[in-house]
Each structure stands twice: as structure tokens, then as C-alpha cells.
Amino acid sequence: MKNLARDTNAKKTLTIDGALSPGASSSVRGMSDSVLLAEKIAITIVVPCFNEELALANLRARLRAVKESLGRTYSVGLILVDDGSTDQTWELMQEYFGSDPAYVLLRQSQNLGLAAAILRGIRTAKTEIVCSIDSDCTYDPEELHKLLPLLTDDVDLVTGSPYHPLGEVRDVPLWRVAFSKAASSLYRQVLKHKLYTYTSCFRVYRRSAILSLRLRQNGFLGTAELLGKLEMQGSKIVECPTTLGARVQGVSKMRTARVMVGHLFLLCRLLAHRGHQKLFG
């Protein structure tokens, strides 16, 4: 895990292993147990939630599983952000997660949007490595184990990519897939990083590269704007093939027509900013 050594919040844990290797020294073989010092890298997983009372039971089970699996390599903390929900999301978050010290629960006073909730989680995190996942788990949280090693010393963002040739889309409405692929093809024309997916919220971030960013788009569009602004500041971005599935509980909060128009305006702004960089940079 040398590639992630920039995390200053890495925690040390003791591992007790009673079995001794044949090549161990006599002094070690004489010990009843060998104590091995292993270093776990600290990471934080941020989960934005808005009116997700129907999805929280499934989220609890999925987070328990991913915390256990990633916990073999990482010290895992979790931040759940209630983005101004009007249902029982906040009450259920407290019931399901409030007694576990691994979780931090945050509540927005009003619905500010997906990107705003993710940014608040990133800024609250104490670790240099921060992941974001969706609360309905349409991206399998277990796939974080594929993204995390790609955050090498020269990379500031790893984004999940279901539209990558090695990615997969399961049971997602065709109109949504067509819309997302069309948006990604437009971003590919404007940005230097030629990715297959620009709008995923399934990501791993280097926190220090994100803190200074200021977004104009707080909702779904903010995920694309964040990627674009990282590129403009010279960050390296990589993508990892992932699987996108259909939502099982609750309903999507995305307003397609509004988001479509928003993408066009954002693309124009990014294009203008890129032109300004070429003229004056």
C-alpha cells in the first residue's frame, strides 16, 4: 500500500499470529506468540442521503459488509449526511447508526443538493482519503476495493465508470443510460481527461485537492463540475470500471430535463474557462 502513504492519518494496529515461519530466529521461535505491527490506512466513506427512509435498512446492511471487508486493509470511518430530508431519514439514521462510534451523522438544515452534501462530508473528514457512494447502493460499495489502490501519489480523483468497456450496467432504464452516455461524450470533447463516465458519484478523493474547490452547482451537476474544476487546477483523474445497477428502494431524485439543460450550461462554462486558460495561462 505504498501508493497511499501520503495519508497522514494512518493508524497502527497490532496483529497477533501464533504461527511462526520456519525461518524465524531462535529468539522469535521461543515466543509463544509473535506480535506483528501492521499499518492500516485510514479512509472515510461519505454517504449523502435525501428522503431515503426506505433505503436505509439496506444501506445499513451494505455498509456493515463493506466496513468488514475493507477493514482487513483499512481503518474505515463513515460520514452520513442527511441533506434536509422531509421524511424519517434523520430519525432512522440515528436509530441505525447513532450508537456506532465509526459513524459521524450530519444534518443539513435544508436540501442543498448531492454535491453539497458530498463536499460537506469531505470537509468534515479527518482522513486524506475520502470515498463517496450513493445511499441506494446502485453502485456496489464492495467495489471500493478496486478504486482505492488507484489513488496513487500522483492522482487526486478515482471515479467509478460503468460506461467503461470493462464496466457493466444492469437493469438501468435505457433512457438514463443514453442520457448519461450523451453527457459524457460532450464532456469528453471539452475536457482533457478522456473518460467514459463523468457524472458518477462513486469516487475516491484526495481530500487536500478538494478543500479549496468552490462549486456553483450543488446538485447532481456538481459531480461533473467538481471533476472539471479538478482538471482545470492540474489534477490527475483516473477511472475504474464498475457496475451500475437499478435502484431497488425509494425513487430517484434527479429531474432529467433540468439536469440536461444544466449540463449544457456547465459545458459552456468549462469551455470558456479552458479558452481563458489557453489565452492567459
Q: What pLDDT was estimated at residue 264? A: 77
3-class DSSP state of 123 = helix
In angstroms, the CA 47 to CA 39 distance is 26
The confidence score (pLDDT) of residue 129 equals 98
Q: Is the pLDDT of residue 27 over 50?
A: no
* CA atoms of 243 and 138, how far apart (whole Å): 8
| Alpha helices for the chain (secondary structure H) | 26-29, 56-70, 89-97, 114-124, 144-147, 174-190, 207-210, 221-232, 256-280
Mean of per-residue pLDDT scores for the chain: 84
Give the least confident one: 77-86, 210-219, 266-275. Answer: 266-275
Q: Is pLDDT larger for residue 103 or for residue 175?
A: 103
Q: Tell me if 144 sits within 8 A of 70, measured CB to CB.
A: yes
Do the Cβ atoms of 9 and 42 come closer than 8 Å?
Answer: yes
Nearest to 46 by CA among 147, 145, 114: 114
Which amino acid belongs to residue 248?
Answer: V
Query: Which H helix or E strand runs over 240?
Result: strand 237-241
Query: Is residue 269 pLDDT above 90, yes or no?
Result: no
Structural class in CATH, domain 41-280: alpha beta
Burial (0-12, 13-18, 19+ Cβ within 10 Å), 156: buried
pLDDT at 127: 98
What is the residue whose three cell numbers read 463513515?
78
Q: What's the pLDDT score for residue 259?
A: 72
Helix (H, G, I), strand (E, B) or coil at 113: coil
Tell whether the model's pLDDT for residue 13 goes beyond 80.
no
Q: What is the pTM (predicted TM-score) of this model?
A: 0.81
For residue 251, the model assigns a pLDDT of 55
String of DSSP letters for 49-106: ESS-TTTHHHHHHHHHHHHHHHTTTEEEEEEEEE-S-SSSHHHHHHHHHTT-TTEEEE
Which of residues 13 and 67 earns the better pLDDT score?
67
Grid coordinates representing 261?
Answer: 439543460
Q: Could you read off the pLDDT of 220-259 as tens digits, one per residue?
A: 899 999 999 999 999 999 999 999 998 665 555 555 667 7
Confidence of residue 42 (pLDDT cuts 50, 70, 90): very high
Above 90 in pLDDT, residue 6?
no
Burial class (CB in 10 A: 0-12, 13-18, 19+), 30: exposed
